[in-house]
Amino acid sequence: MEDPVLDEAFMRRYRELLDAEDNAFDELEHAYEDGDREHFETDYVAWQSVLSRKLAFLERRGISMESPLATRTA
């Protein structure tokens, strides 16, 4: 596989996805802190959606992780 192209367009789109993820997580955090279960559930789904879009974007550009959730062993 070729090295991914990290050009200006890539960085701009990735920044948009990072910002969207950050905003979604902020909403999730507020719902958690407020004890608002209904909004927490909705915000959790929204955050997962944004995170999935970010990971799919990276994979389409040739950047992927072998395991999205790394486990740590002692």
**How many of the other CB atoms lie within 10 Å of CB of 24?**
19
Look at residue 3 in the predicted model and tell me its pLDDT. 67
Amino acid at 34: D
Encode the chain (74 residues) as per-residue pLDDT tens digits: 556 678 999 999 999 999 999 999 999 999 999 999 999 999 999 999 999 999 999 999 988 776 555 555 54
What residue ranges do the domains of the chain occupy?
8-59
Q: What is the pLDDT of residues 9-20, one digit of tens each?
A: 999 999 999 999
C-alpha–C-alpha distance, residues 23 and 27, integer Å: 6
Six-digit token string for 53:
């879009």
Prediction pTM value? 0.75
